[in-house]
Amino acid sequence: MRIAVIDLGTNTFNLRPKDQPYLEIPYYEFAPLHSRLLGSTTQEREKIRGLELFRVDMIVLASIFVNFIMQKYGFDRLLQSDYSIKEGVAEMYLNP
């Protein structure tokens, strides 16, 4: 879920340094975004600047999943990475 790059009219996310490949998002900043996504229609999500059209429907499911995991395990923040899980696993194996 690339929530850090979409514009929902909020200014709560801090900009990160250019050399930092991730953004730390506290739960108290994620929760309102999650609520807004849950309450949005497909047509509203299609108008979100920066949200690719193929993600319009899946972002709600992804947000539900992230929220569930954060609440179940008591995480107070999440990291939005510029890299995929596949790349992270490959890096781990290639550079032990």
Q: Can you list the alpha helix ranges (DSSP code H) found in 18-81? A: 27-38, 42-46, 58-73
| 8 domain-assigned | no
CATH of the domain at 84: 3.30.420.150
Average pLDDT over residues 54-74: 93
**Mean pLDDT score across all residues of the chain:** 80
| 32 domain-assigned | yes
Q: What pTM was estimated for this model as a whole?
A: 0.71
Position 52 scores a pLDDT of 85
Average pLDDT over residues 71-95: 80
Domain count, the chain: 1
Distance separating alpha carbons of residues 1 and 58, to the nearest angstrom: 9
| 74 domain-assigned | yes
| 86 domain-assigned | yes
Does 25 or 58 have the greater pLDDT score? Answer: 58
Range of the domain at 75: 23-94
Report the length, in residues, of the chain. Answer: 96
- Band of pLDDT at residue 12, cut at 50, 70 and 90: very low
| 56 domain-assigned | yes
| 14 domain-assigned | no
| 13 domain-assigned | no
Position 2 scores a pLDDT of 44
CA triple 73-75-80, angle to 5 deg: 125
Distance separating alpha carbons of residues 55 and 83, to the nearest angstrom: 17
Hunting for tokens 């993600």 — which residue is that? 55
User: Does 45 have pLDDT greater than 70?
Assistant: yes
